[in-house]
Amino acid sequence: MSSVFKALSDPTRRRVLELLRQQAMSAGELAEHFEFSKPTMSAHFAVLKEAGLVEAEKHGKQVIYRLKMSVLEDALLGFAKTFGLSVQPEVAGADLTSSKEKTKS
């Protein structure tokens, strides 16, 4: 889980995930949204891959990145449980409510 939060700690990597949430994109398409060198972007992609947040698939000379939502969801759920929060999936927007608040209801 720490590798996921390390990956999420950087605003550039969070922006990459936002872009991939819309659709799978090539490394070049993603890089167009930033003013970084290719090696810098490659380093960001490597951190995201290492954390399991994205998967990369080679198509000819292009690398296509896809978001792996399940890894992000698992990390966030684990983090919420650490603080005594539980997810109520039946509530739209996956509302997080404290366990103590639930027992008061």
63 in the same domain as 23: yes
List all residues 6 or more positions away from 10 whose beta carbon is below 8 Å from its beta carbon.
44, 47
95 in the same domain as 78: yes
4-24: per-residue pLDDT in tens? 889 999 999 999 999 999 999
Confidence of residue 87 (pLDDT cuts 50, 70, 90): low
60 in the same domain as 13: yes
49-82: per-residue pLDDT in tens? 999 999 999 999 999 999 998 887 887 787 788 8
Is pTM beyond 0.75 here?
no
- Determine contact, residues 24/64, Cβ cutoff 8 Å: yes
**What element of type H or E holds 92?**
none
Helix, strand or coil for residue 93? coil
Geometric angle at alpha carbon 71, from 38 and 96, rounded to 5°? 120
| Structure-token pair, residue 79 | 């983090």
Domain that holds residue 77: 71-104
